[in-house]
Amino acid sequence: MTEMNMIEAINFTLRQEMEKDEDVLILGEDVGRNGGVFRATDGLVDTFGERRVVDTPLAESGIIGTAVGMAVRGLKPVAEIQFLGFIYEAMDQIAAQAARIRFRSAGNFHAPMVIRAPYSGGVKTPELHSDSLEALFMHSAGIKVIMPSSPSDAKGLLNAAIEDPDPVLFLEPMKLYRAIRENVEEERYTIEIGKANILKEGSDITLISWGSTMAETKKAVQMLEENGYSIELIDLRTIVPLDEETIIDSVMKTSRCVVVHEAVKSAGVGAEISAIINEKALFYISAPVLRVTGYDSPYPVATVENDWIPSVDRIVREVKHVWELSLD
């Protein structure tokens, strides 16, 4: 075991995967000599050379288009988009090319590629550097979406993403890159894609979150427990596929649910979870599913972003609200 933060765990995993498999390579803007904008690829070019750690032009569609071609021809590219807000430039390559290859070719071709991208606010970035856009890809059938919240999860999930036979979007919360240190297994391991993690069992209310908002959600749970609430806390880990079984089983036990995410509220992942609960567990719930989210606006300027991001106070308030709304 070695103590790591998330960016160290990602760097360690990339090195481990490249040592294990010569078909794994990295491409993106400044991933080589500069080691990546957050140093996720630091030092890899010195070990594996410029043919496997490729600095590209500033062209996101070119990065993903090249990765698609590499993947179809048998390589396992890990492409880095410097910030998730820049991914609009590559949407056609992701949604219309990478995600559809298996369907379009009737299973004769597939694209075993990973797209890594930092996202989330809380670090005072300029416009387009903090957006949470995971819902866009929930609508793009054919691509998996992973959003880890801890160094150990990042390592196990990134290993699983690289060995997956189809395209995976791996979204990394910027504000958690260096916020948490924990012991991480050095030996290679994988975490199943599409399997949520029940961080804490409880009986009163199910609290669901993932990625960047897990830190605030954990603090809220601690405050609520001190006030007598029994909270079941679920870290989804993966948005696509969604672990419906764990969600439904938990809500059938607690009969109440609050979803916390940083993306805007309308048509977000929280809305999908609410719909699933209505469809499959309606007669087990005693209160409407509530959401604590970002607001339906562009991500704000740095001076007011703390008012936009779901806070501990907002989470606690909505949990108490769902309790007050309960029929039993």
Handedness of CA 134, 135, 139, 141 (dihedral sign): positive
Which residue among 129, 139, 261, 321 is the active-site one?
Answer: 129
Sequence length of the chain is 328
Three-state SS at 323: helix
Given a contact cutoff of 8 angstroms between Cβ atoms, the answer to whether 37 and 64 are in contact is no
Q: Which residue has the tokens 């007011």?
A: 304
Distance CA(184)–CA(297), nearest Å, equals: 37
Q: Is 321 a catalytic residue?
A: no
243 Cβ neighbours under 8 A, 6+ residues apart:
194, 195, 196, 236, 237
Single out the residue of 140, 118, 159 nearest to residue 28, CA to CA: 118
Cβ count near 66 (within 10 Å): 17
**CB neighbour class for 320 (10 Å; exposed up to 12, middle 13-18, buried from 19):** middle
Distance CA(55)–CA(32), nearest Å, equals: 5
Please list the alpha-helical segments (H only) found in the chain: 6-20, 44-48, 60-72, 91, 101-104, 134-138, 151-163, 214-226, 244-254, 269-281, 305-308, 312-325
Distance CA(194)–CA(156), nearest Å, equals: 13
What residues act catalytically? 129
